[in-house]
Amino acid sequence: MLRGIVRWRKGATMDALTAEELQEVRRPLASLLSKSEKARQKLAPGKWQHTMLGDNVRALRVALALMNEAPSGTRSITRADLQDALRVLAMVIVKAGQAQAKFSPGTSQHTLQRNRLKALRMAESLVSAELAGSAPDAEPGAAADGAVR
């Protein structure tokens, strides 16, 4: 699904990602997903942090599923999943931007947050494009259960 993935660059138009660029986006997202899953295991269910990390994990899985999708379109992501993922990714982007501002440019922490922000923005664009491509009522290629295929 490379044609559906867009690159976010200031002052540039959105265009398709190459396989190498796609890998550059997957790496920070996969890392964030792994760290979030590990942190969530250490928290007690019912705590707001546990719930927040669960939302983050679901949003990252949706974004990675869209990036990893084979052209055959075999995934089963509902419109509600996409809407939730978009909402959560927007919040994570804000938090990552706030975290980046705390670090001096050139430090490893600043670079980590810069790469993470770039990947999160691309994921947000991808989820947004996927959401825009599915009509609210009659989604082309949608199953009777409302899943986008």
Contact present, 26 and 60 (Cβ < 8 Å): no
Model confidence, pTM: 0.77
- Per-residue pLDDT at 52: 96
How far apart (Å, rounded) are the C-alpha atoms in residues 38 and 148? 29
Q: Over the stretch 72-113, which tens digit does the pLDDT of each residue have?
A: 454 588 999 999 999 999 999 999 999 999 999 999 999 999
Give the start-to-end residue ranges of the domains of the chain: 2-148
